Amino acid sequence: MNTTRSQQITGPQTEIADTDIIFECPHCAKSMAIDRRGGGLMISCPDCGTRIRVPEPEPLELAPESTVNELIASTDPHVRNLAQSLDHSREKVQQLMARLEEARKRRGALEKLRISDAGRLGKISEEIAVIQSSIDRIAGLLQDAMADHADDGSEW
Ligand SMILES: [Zn+2]
């Protein structure tokens, strides 16, 4: 095909783009391509010099909706799985935080009791040690859970 891209509007560029208007000179049938912005302009045929009005461009083709939906469908399960596992982790962390808060309150209550009943000091101290270790364990689990998501940019 002997198509020449018009240089009257686009300058030295000679590549024919997908969006170019392709048309023929009505006088000599010379095939030409012009940038779509040139639609409706008057130009001179490069071969015969006839003044030609450039036809208006076809509307630009957009990706069919079905293609976009297929793309979403293929991406969505992976995204959904990630979101679910993140939600699960958040739930777990919230549960652990609730337990931690509960354990702290219990420790506080026992410490008050210790002050008022010195006779039971030994037993209460043991109980406090058990609660403290469980707080430490929960705090450790929380740190692990947060470290798992520390590098994925999530907000907690
Ligand atoms: Zn011509």
Choose between 38 and 62: higher pLDDT: 38
75: Cβ contacts below 8 Å, ≥ 6 apart: none
Helix ranges, the chain (H): 7-10, 65-116, 121-148
Gap from CA of 40 to ligand 1 centroid (Å): 17
Cβ neighbours, 10 Å, residue 114: 16
Per-residue DSSP letter, 35: -
Cα 46 to middle of ligand 1, angstroms: 7
CB 35 within 8 A of CB 10: yes
* The pLDDT of residue 100: 83
The model's confidence at residue 139, banded by pLDDT at 50, 70 and 90, is confident
For residue 39, report the distance from its CA to the centre of ligand 1, in Å: 17
CA-to-CA dists, residue 37 to 17, 24, 28, 54, angstroms: 12, 17, 24, 10
Confidence of residue 51 (pLDDT cuts 50, 70, 90): very high
Determine the distance separating the centroid of ligand 1 and the alpha carbon of 58, expressed in angstroms: 22
H-run or E-run covering 19: none
Around ion ligand 1, residues with a beta carbon closer than 5 Å are 25, 27-28, 30, 45, 47-48, 50
Residue 131 structure tokens: 């609660």
Please give the residue that has the higher pLDDT: either 145 or 83: 145
CA-CA-CA-CA torsion sign (77, 82, 87, 91): positive
The residues, any chain, with a CB within 8 Å of residue 85's CB and separated by 6 or more, are none
What is the Å distance from ligand 1's center to 51 Cα? 8
Write down the domain spans for the chain.
Answer: 3-53, 66-148
Task: Tell me which residue has tokens 């219990």.
Answer: 106
Distance 23 CA to ligand 1 centre (A): 11
Q: Is the pLDDT of residue 27 over 80?
A: yes
- For the record, the structure tokens of 4 come out as 């020449």
**pLDDT class of 50 with cuts at 50, 70, 90:** very high
Distance 155 CA to ligand 1 centre (A): 65
Q: What is the pLDDT of residue 111?
A: 75
**Quick one: pLDDT at residue 101?**
86
